[in-house]
Amino acid sequence: ELYCCYINENGFKIPVKNTQLAEAILCLTDKQRSIILRNIVLNIPLSKIAISLGISKRMAEKHKQKAMKILRERMKTSNEEY
């Protein structure tokens, strides 16, 4: 049986089957989580995400980079625990 978490983003219910990934995503700031999910999962360009959040595209890129770094570190740490 597969366990699946759902993360709500901008009216979308996004399934996440890896619980460690779901926990890592939920540890991000609201802005980081929004940018990561909209860009990577929903495939929305960073320029459009930036406009909707009222920030520059460059700032959206910085939030995405920081979020990816956090996710990589948390996933690496959770994998080392097993």
Q: Quick check: 71 and 25 in contact, CB under 8 A? A: yes
How confident is the model over 12-48, as pLDDT tens digits?
A: 888 888 888 999 999 999 999 999 999 999 999 999 9
Q: What is the largest CA-CA distance in the chain?
A: 43
- The amino acid occupying position 17 is K
Beta strand segments in 22-62, E: none
Cα–Cα distances (Å) from 45 to 1, 27, 39, 50, 78, in that order, read: 35, 23, 6, 9, 30
Compute the average pLDDT of residues 64-75.
96
Three-class secondary structure of residue 64 per DSSP: helix
* pTM for this prediction: 0.83
